[in-house]
Amino acid sequence: MTRDEYNKQRYSKSHRINNGKEEKYCNNCKTWKVMNLDNFYVWKQSKSDGFHPQCKECCKESARINKSNNKERYSEYDRQYRGRGNNKEIMNERSRQWMVNHKEYTKEFRGAWGRSEIGKAWMLNWMNERELHQHDISTKEWKAK
Ligand SMILES: [Zn+2]
C-alpha cells in the first residue's frame, strides 16, 4: 500500500456524509460529529482535512490529562531520539520533506504565520507527534510494504 492509499483509506474510515454534511469520527469518544469549527479545532498539522483528529470536547479533556503526563512522555521521547546525530539537521530535512508532501499547507507555513513563534511551535509539535506516531505506523502497517 502506498502512503497515499493508506491516507485515503484512513480518511474514508473517519469521514462520512450525513444529511449532506460531512461528518468526522472522533476516535476518542467514538462519536460522529459534523466536521465544522464548532466540533473540531483547526489543526495545522492535519494531513487530511485540516481538523484535529479528536473533537473539541476530547481535546479539552486530553489537554487536561496531558498536562500531567507530558513530562513522562517527553523524557521517553528524549531517550529514544536524542543522540541520533545532528538534531537540527534532521529537523530541517524533515520540515523540507513535509513541505513537499503537504503542498496545500506550505503557503501558510511560508507566510507570516509560519515565521511567527506560534507557527514555529506548531511545526515543531507536529514533527514531534509524527516522530512518535511514525513508530507505530512503521511497525504495524508499513512493515507489510
Ligand atoms: Zn470526541
Q: How far is the CA of 14 from the centre of ligand 1 (A)?
A: 12
The predicted-structure confidence for 63-119, as pLDDT tens digits, reads as follows 888 776 766 666 666 666 665 555 666 667 777 777 777 766 656 556 666 667 766
The predicted-structure confidence for 105-124, as pLDDT tens digits, reads as follows 656 556 666 667 766 777 77
Q: How far is the CA of 89 from the centre of ligand 1 (A)?
A: 36
Q: How far is the CA of 18 from the centre of ligand 1 (A)?
A: 18
Comparing CA positions, the residue from 56, 58, 59, 50 lying closest to residue 22 is 50
Residues facing residue 24 across a β-bridge = 15, 33
Q: How far is the CA of 83 from the centre of ligand 1 (A)?
A: 36
Cell of residue 144, nine digits: 507489510
> Angle 59-5-49 (CA atoms, 0-180°, nearest 5)?
30
CB 59 within 8 A of CB 32: no
Q: How far is the CA of 59 from the centre of ligand 1 (A)?
A: 7
CA 89 to the chain's CA centroid:
21
